[in-house]
Amino acid sequence: MVRKIFNHLKSEWYKYLFEIVGIILGILIAYNLDEWSGARKNKKKEIQILKEFKRGLSGDLAEMHGYISAHEYSILSGKVILNVIKDNLPYHDSLDVYFAHTHTFSTFTGNVSPIEQLKNTDLAIVSNDTLRLKIMGMYDEVYNRIRKVEVAITRDYEQLRDFDRLYFEAYDVDQISTSKSMPRPPWGTMRPIRFTELKTNPEYAALLRARISNQTGLLRIHYYPAEKELNNLLNQIDREIERLE
């Protein structure tokens, strides 16, 4: 019996070999198809996540542009008022818009939903290691540093508000600025009611100088570099999306 089976296998061995090879090839093809399908799904998900990052970071960049302009106006306004104080110049209603701009402060938020979503799934879905680390660094390091420094600017603003009760009327949201070089801020203008006393108050001038220093540091050390990094990061994301698609 065993000999018959052996002789049969010996005479028909090529058929069984083809069957075994066919089974192995079928398994390999199924495995590769599954791998290909999984890779395709991951790539599609990666592209979707990168596009979400692009939308979020583009919004952050627009927010940052707005704050940069606001602080630049505030710094210029502080310098104008300090020159008025130094030269003991008379009051003019064009100064109202400059007084208002000195009250600028920023609370950069940043759209954190894309990075939180990525952290809740799998960080490795972004296959480009360099790009993934730069995205995480932007949210975890750059944004956090900006928020910490903004605390000092807000503290200056709160101190400046102490002078409002003594030397200024309430914000006037309807007054049209008479200044030809400075746009009116959204919160209106500020008209001083005791201008001479304000000019001679050394604490007010000292606070304006401190604000100018802090705001300049915020722009030069944090906002300007972050703006450049955001632009570079968005360009890298665009290139990566193009490569994946």
Per this entry, what is the length of the chain? 245
Longest dimension (CA), the chain: 123
Is the pLDDT at 148 greater than 60? The verdict is yes
Q: Among residues of the chain, what percentage have pLDDT more than 70? A: 81
What span, in angstroms and rounded, lies between the C-alpha atoms of 220 and 143?
15
Listed by start position, the domains of the chain span 2-244
Q: What is the pLDDT of residue 64?
A: 95
Q: What is the pLDDT of residue 191?
A: 92
Could you tell me if 179 and 93 are in contact, meaning their C-beta atoms sit under 8 angstroms apart?
no
Question: Who's near 213: CB < 8 A, 6+ residues apart?
Answer: none
Could you tell me if 151 and 106 are in contact, meaning their C-beta atoms sit under 8 angstroms apart?
no
- Predicted TM-score (pTM) of this structure: 0.80
